[in-house]
């Protein structure tokens, strides 16, 4: 095998429940993958906490296992890149874990992205009306980092004052790998209100929201040096990190990405099956996981109410990113299915068939209905607003919660199938609301490239195509998020001169799904009306109970 053929690049992806590693060659061919679980502590009140040390150890185990599977020597790895959820990591000045938990446990030093403890702080920040908020759709989310920092200042002031570093999780991983405190333009622009198009933080914003102390030392705690994704950091892997991963000291490390954004660069620049290159502007990326992100790239800044961005160079260098999202996607469907009385019976049957429960249900539906489009008709009389963790966009309403209408007393697996399909429809209708909001502001939405666990489902893809009217394409690789992370390593290791070059060289489109008969489009349009009525009911119900609380409970 030639030297060029032996070059490999590792992508490390830290999701909500697993750390995963993927090894690719310079053409984007997947050589091996591995994963290791991550511990999450969950408490009532929307509290989700993790440990940065546990996450790092999971990354190391995943990389070592993938390397063993690929049977590659450490010298074959010419670059590594990290992506992660947009969780907040607190460290002391020496780089050691600092508690973010009321328990005081220093191992609990990560506020997970889905943690909503900072909802009140997010409201306070939104009420300031600062101009920075234009770049987050006008309303800041409790999933972003400045509300979480304000929560720490208010509720754990000892941690806030003692902190030497606050990192987005992806930047923590590159810091742990290289010792570099440089932050990625992706993380700080999308989650920390850095104004990438002006290359600056806003002093006025932090003063106005009550975090002015961050400005006093030139933003040392949250990022003085901001670099584009894929920038080679430090001197590559430190000897300590290399020993943890079983790689060579000095292996190039590229500045990181948020996990969904890694999926974006792993898909939106993919050449079509004929080899024709594409421009990212023509593609909408939909990355499905525990949550889901809907991302469009534009040549000019375009503002969409309730949708995050526009963010300059936060994903594809030189282009603006607009980012919608659903706080509960895979997590919502899993919860919905587990809540049904037939779940234990279906789960046992799935185990006996050596299938995941959702694969099991989909296979039954395929046998029953023939086509994926027709399976959607089973949900005619049951409607789901699957907002288990609030609405990220376009309504930017963290207080909305799920509603199910049309339940009966049936408790068999067929009833579970109907609920499962209704949940998938609800997710598709939430996605369609984001697509419509983007389109209303002139954002071009052509083909949708879908990735993540649920993307491999023909039923999911058909429902989305019939709901949005868009052609839905799969990437050729089974691991587009890991591929995107590996591109960071390929750029840092000089295998490709830039992220756009890596996108064109390493990614390809796979099969596509087109909308089916007009009748199904009309069916989904009718169900979307029911979906919108559920959203209206939720708002009215909350208003009624807020009025009661104000009149009888003192607010």
Summarize the confidence of residues 302-322 as an average pLDDT: 93
pLDDT of residue 311: 96
Per-residue model confidence as pLDDT tens digits over 389-417: 999 999 989 899 999 999 999 999 999 99
CATH topology of domain 3-257: Nucleotidyltransferase; domain 5 (3.30.420)
Confidence of residue 275 (pLDDT cuts 50, 70, 90): low
* Segment holding 140, helix H or strand E: none
Summarize the confidence of residues 12-35 as an average pLDDT: 97
pLDDT of residue 45: 83
Provide φ and ψ at 101, rounded to 5°: -110, 145
Do residues 112 and 49 make contact, with C-beta atoms less than 8 angstroms apart? yes
- Six-digit token string for 527: 């169900």
- Six-digit token string for 254: 């590229």
Domain ranges within the chain, ordered by starting residue: 3-257
pLDDT of residue 223: 97
Provide φ and ψ at 546, rounded to 5°: -65, -40
pLDDT of residue 217: 87
How far is residue 254's CA from residue 180's CA, in Å, rounded to a whole number?
A: 11
Per-residue model confidence as pLDDT tens digits over 102-123: 999 999 999 999 999 999 999 9
In whole angstroms, how far apart are CA 310 and each of 54, 208, 363? 34, 22, 40
pLDDT-above-90 percentage for the chain: 87
Closest by CA position to 210, among listed 164, 163, 160: 160
Instruction: Answer yes or no: is pLDDT of 195 > 50.
Output: yes
Per-residue model confidence as pLDDT tens digits over 203-243: 999 999 999 999 998 999 999 999 999 999 999 999 999 99
Terminal Cα distance for the chain, rounded:
72
- The whole-model pTM stands at 0.90
Given the structure tokens 């409790």, which residue do they identify?
A: 142
Confidence of residue 3 (pLDDT cuts 50, 70, 90): very low
User: Is the bond preceding residue 310 a cis peptide, omega within 30 degrees?
Assistant: yes
Q: What is the mean pLDDT of the chain?
A: 94
Query: Cβ contacts of residue 373 below 8 Å, gap of 6+?
Result: 462, 463, 466, 516, 517, 520
How far is residue 425's CA from residue 434's CA, in Å, rounded to a whole number?
A: 15
165-168 sheet: strands from edge to edge? 41-43, 47-50, 110-111, 88-91, 165-168
pLDDT of residue 1: 36
Instruction: Answer yes or no: is pLDDT of 276 > 90.
Output: no
Confidence of residue 2 (pLDDT cuts 50, 70, 90): very low
Per-residue model confidence as pLDDT tens digits over 158-181: 999 999 999 999 999 999 999 999
Q: What letter would DSSP give residue 237?
A: S
Per-residue model confidence as pLDDT tens digits over 520-534: 999 999 999 999 999
Per-residue model confidence as pLDDT tens digits over 325-354: 998 999 999 999 999 999 999 999 999 999
pLDDT of residue 4: 42
Q: Which residues of 184-208 are buried (b: 16+ CB within 10 A; e: fewer)?
A: bbbbbbbbbbbbbeeeebbeebbeb
């Amino acid at each position: 095998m030639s030297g060029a053929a032996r070059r490999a690049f590792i992508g490390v992806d830290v999701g909500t429940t697993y750390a995963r590693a993927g090894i690719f060659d310079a053409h984007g061919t997947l050589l091996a993958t591995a994963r290791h679980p991550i511990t999450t502590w969950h408490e009532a009140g929307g509290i989700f906490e993790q440990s940065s040390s546990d996450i790092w150890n999971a990354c190391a185990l995943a990389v070592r296992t993938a390397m063993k599977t690929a049977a590659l020597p450490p010298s074959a790895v010419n670059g590594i890149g990290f992506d992660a959820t947009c969780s907040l990591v607190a460290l002391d000045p020496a780089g050691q874990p600092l508690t973010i938990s009321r328990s005081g446990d220093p191992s609990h030093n990560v506020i997970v992205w889905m943690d909503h403890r900072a909802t009140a702080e997010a409201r306070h920040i939104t009420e300031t009306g600062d101009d920075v908020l234009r770049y987050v759709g006008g309303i800041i989310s409790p999933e972003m980092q400045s509300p979480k920092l304000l929560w720490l200042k208010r509720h754990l002031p000892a941690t806030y004052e003692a902190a030497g570093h606050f990192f987005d999780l992806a930047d923590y991983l590159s810091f742990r790998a290289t010792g570099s405190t440089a932050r990625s333009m992706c993380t700080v622009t999308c989650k920390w209100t850095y104004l990438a198009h002006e290359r600056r933080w806003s002093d006025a914003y932090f003063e106005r929201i009550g975090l002015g102390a961050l400005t006093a030392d030139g933003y040392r705690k949250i990022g003085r040096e901001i670099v584009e994704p894929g920038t080679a950091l430090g001197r590559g892997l430190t000897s300590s990190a290399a020993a943890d991963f079983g790689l060579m000291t000095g292996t190039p490390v590229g500045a990181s990405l948020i996990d969904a954004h890694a999926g974006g660069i792993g898909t939106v620049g993919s050449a079509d099956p004929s080899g024709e290159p594409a421009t990212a502007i023509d593609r909408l990326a939909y990355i499905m996981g525990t949550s889901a992100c809907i991302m469009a790239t534009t040549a000019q800044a375009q503002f969409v109410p309730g949708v995050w961005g526009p963010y300059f160079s936060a994903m594809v260098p030189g282009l603006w990113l607009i980012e919608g999202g659903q706080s509960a996607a895979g997590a919502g469907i899993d919860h919905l299915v587990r809540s049904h009385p037939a779940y234990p019976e279906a789960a046992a049957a799935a185990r006996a068939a050596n299938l995941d429960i959702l694969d099991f249900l989909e296979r039954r539906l395929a046998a029953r209905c023939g086509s994926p489009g027709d399976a959607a008709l089973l949900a005619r009389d049951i409607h789901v607003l699957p907002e288990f963790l609030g609405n990220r966009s376009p309504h930017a309403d963290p207080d909305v919660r799920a509603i199910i209408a049309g339940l009966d007393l049936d408790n068999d697996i067929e009833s579970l199938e109907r609920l499962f399909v209704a949940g998938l429809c609800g997710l598709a209708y939430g996605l369609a609301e984001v697509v419509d909001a983007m389109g209303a502001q002139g954002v071009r939405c052509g083909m949708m490239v879908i990735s993540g666990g649920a993307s491999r489902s023909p039923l999911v893809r058909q429902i989305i195509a019939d709901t949005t009217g868009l052609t839905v394409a799969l990437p050729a690789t089974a691991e587009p998020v890991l591929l995107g992370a590996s591109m960071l390593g390929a750029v840092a290791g000089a295998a490709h001169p830039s992220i756009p070059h890596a996108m064109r060289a390493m990614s390809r489109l796979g099969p596509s799904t087109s909308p089916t008969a007009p009748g199904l489009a009309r069916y989904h349009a009718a169900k979307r009306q029911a979906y919108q009525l559920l959203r209206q009911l939720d708002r009215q119900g909350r208003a009624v109970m807020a009025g009661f609380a104000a009149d009888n409970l003192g607010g």
